[in-house]
A = this chain, B = another copy of it.
Amino acid sequence: MGTKGSANRQRIVDAADHLFYSRGYNQTSFSDISDETGIPRGNFYYYFKTKEDILAAVVDARVGEFKAVLKNCEEATSDPMQRLHALAQLPLQHETQVLQYGCPIGSLSSELVKEQDTEISQVRLTAVFDLLKSWIIEQLDKLGQSSRGDDIAKDLLARMQGIILIANVYNDAPFLHRSVNDLQSWLNQTLSN
Chain A residues within 8 Å of B, Cβ to Cβ: 22-24, 26-27, 101-102, 106-107, 109-111, 113-116, 125-126, 129, 151, 154-155, 157-163, 165-166, 168-170, 172, 175, 178-179, 182
- Further contacts, 16 of them, CB under 8 A, given A110-B110, A158-B179: A22-B114, A22-B116, A23-B116, A101-B113, A101-B114, A102-B114, A109-B165, A110-B168, A110-B169, A126-B170, A154-B179, A157-B162, A158-B166, A161-B162, A162-B163, A162-B165
- Chain B residues, Cβ within 8 Å of A155: 179, 182
Q: Knowing A23-B114, A107-B110, say if A165 contacts B158 (CB, 8 Å).
A: yes
CA distance A109 to B168 in the complex (A): 9
CA distance A106 to B162 in the complex (A): 9
A178 and B151 contacting across the interface, CB-CB below 8 Å: yes
Question: Which DSSP category, helix, strand, loop or mixed, fits chain A's interface?
Answer: helix
- Chain B residues, Cβ within 8 Å of A163: 158, 162
Q: Shortest beta-carbon distance, A151 to chain B, in Å?
A: 7
CA distance A27 to B114 in the complex (A): 9
CA distance A158 to B167 in the complex (A): 9
18 residue pairs A–B, Cβ–Cβ below 8 Å: A22-B114, A22-B116, A26-B26, A101-B114, A106-B165, A109-B169, A110-B165, A125-B169, A129-B170, A151-B178, A154-B166, A154-B170, A157-B162, A158-B165, A158-B166, A159-B162, A161-B165, A162-B163
CA distance A165 to B126 in the complex (A): 12
Closest 6 interchain pairs by CB? Answer: A162-B162, A158-B162, A161-B162, A158-B166, A24-B114, A109-B169
Q: Which of A111, A115, A182 has the most CB of B within 10 A?
A: A111
Q: Shortest beta-carbon distance, A20 to chain B, in Å?
A: 10
